[in-house]
């Protein structure tokens, strides 16, 4: 059964993903293009690496846990390609009046990016752990939630890159601290699992996960409340929506709203993580 799943995984990766990444490499400009290119090249390079290791049977020689690495990569690749599938057309197709070969290439890139996203989502759904099945932590729901949490935090950092968004009040600095602390710990958990280093910890890993999930829920709950209050309440903030903003991307007000929404999304992810982690500790024991 595992061999069949591996074969399906290889087939899913080989056909659409490699073709996708090669098809969408064409000329464009702008910082958002660089981000989209990173998403596509990261996905292509990682897929090629996974294919080579599995086809050559080098899993036992890999310095990482091969029960955790492929699904972790596939989940990140799905999120990266999904992000690029929204960002690229928004910046390079929307409101573009140029109808030439370049525009057609951009439309084709978006289509193939969506196909790559679908392929990675199917791969994750096929390789994730089923109820009662023994699998690596990253193949379980809490493990996949860690991937989502770190990805959402990364997107928050992209939108919050302007220091004026959070430096004018201590409460907003606390929100920034929440994003950074939770991102670092969640990323460390992912690396520990992929590197199979959890056994070296001086405390039970499962109980640490539950304690951290509870702490993250409390921290993100405060950020979910504090960020919109101190950004949109006229008593604390002077930021107003600029209806005449000529920016090609999102203006400051739209970025602040996006951060508020993503903060709430991450709070819900950590809440679900807490529920699954607590069940993993208390129900299984």
| pLDDT computed for residue 133 by the predictor | 62
Distance CA 198, CA 143 (A): 13
Q: What is the pLDDT of residues 114-161, one digit of tens each?
A: 999 999 999 999 888 776 665 788 888 889 999 999 999 998 988 887
Q: Interior CA angle at 11 toward 134 and 68, to 5°? A: 30
Confidence of residue 285 (pLDDT cuts 50, 70, 90): very low
**Selected residue with higher pLDDT from 118 and 230:** 118
**pLDDT value for 113:** 93
Is the confidence at residue 252, as pLDDT, over 70? Answer: yes
pLDDT-derived band at 99 (thresholds 50, 70, 90) equals: low
CA distance 108 to 196: 40
> What is d(CA 231, CA 215) in angstroms, rounded to the nearest whole number?
24
Q: How confident is the model at residue 107 (pLDDT cuts 50, 70, 90)?
A: confident
Contact 40, 113 (CB under 8 A): yes
Q: What is the mean pLDDT of residues 89-112?
A: 75
In whole angstroms, what is the distance from residue 113 CA to residue 108 CA?
8
pTM (2 decimals)? Answer: 0.81
Is the confidence at residue 201, as pLDDT, over 50?
yes
Tokens of 190: 């992912």
Helices (H), 57-140: 69-92, 101-127
Cβ-proximal residues to 190 (8 Å cutoff; 6+ apart), any chain: 72, 138, 143, 146, 147, 150
- Banded pLDDT at 230 (limits 50, 70, 90): confident
Structure tokens at 105: 């290439």
pLDDT category of residue 14 using cuts at 50, 70 and 90: very low
CB environment 186-221: b (16+ within 10 A), e (fewer): bbebbebbbebebeeeeeeebebbbebbbebbebbb
Tell me 160's DSSP state: T
Q: Are 9 and 53 in contact (CB under 8 A)?
A: no
pLDDT surpasses 60 at 101: yes
How far is residue 280's CA from residue 235's CA, in Å, rounded to a whole number?
Answer: 44
Is it the case that residue 269 has pLDDT exceeding 60?
Answer: yes
pLDDT digits (tens, 9 = 90+) for 41-70: 999 999 999 999 999 988 888 888 888 899
User: Residues 188, 149: contact at Cβ < 8 Å?
Assistant: no
**What is the distance between the alpha carbons of residues 11 and 223, in angstroms, rounded to a whole number?**
42
Look at residue 111 in the predicted model and tell me its pLDDT: 92
Mean residue pLDDT of the chain comes to 80
Give the pair of three-digit tokens for residue 211: 């304690």
Looking at residue 132, its pLDDT comes to 60
67, 135 Cβ separation under 8 angstroms: yes
């Amino acid at each position: 059964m595992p061999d069949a799943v591996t074969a399906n995984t290889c087939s899913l990766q080989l056909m659409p993903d490699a073709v996708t990444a090669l098809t969408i490499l064409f000329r464009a400009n702008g910082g958002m293009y660089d981000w989209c290119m990173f998403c596509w090249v990261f996905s292509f390079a990682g897929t090629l690496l996974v294919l080579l290791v599995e086809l050559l049977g080098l899993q036992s020689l890999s310095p990482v846990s091969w029960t955790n690495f492929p699904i972790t990569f596939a989940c990140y690749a799905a999120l990266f390609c999904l992000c690029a599938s929204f960002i690229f057309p928004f910046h390079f197709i929307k409101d573009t009046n140029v109808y030439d070969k370049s525009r057609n290439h951009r439309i084709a890139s978006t289509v193939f990016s969506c196909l790559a996203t679908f392929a990675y989502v199917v791969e994750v759904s096929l390789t994730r752990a089923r109820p009662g099945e023994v699998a690596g932590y990253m193949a379980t729901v809490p493990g996949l939630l860690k991937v989502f949490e770190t990805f959402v935090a990364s997107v928050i950092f992209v939108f919050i890159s302007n220091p004026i968004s959070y430096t004018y009040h201590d409460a907003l600095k606390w929100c920034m601290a929440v994003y950074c602390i939770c991102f670092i710990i969640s990323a460390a958990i992912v690396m520990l699992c992929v590197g199979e280093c959890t056994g070296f910890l001086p405390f039970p890993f499962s109980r640490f996960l539950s304690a951290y999930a509870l702490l993250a829920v409390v921290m993100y709950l405060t950020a979910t409340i504090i960020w919109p209050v101190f950004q949109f309440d006229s008593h604390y903030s002077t930021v107003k929506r600029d209806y005449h903003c000529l920016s090609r991307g999102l203006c400051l007000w739209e970025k602040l709203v996006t951060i508020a929404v993503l903060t709430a999304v991450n709070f819900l992810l950590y809440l679900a993580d807490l529920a699954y982690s607590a069940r993993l500790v208390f129900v299984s024991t």
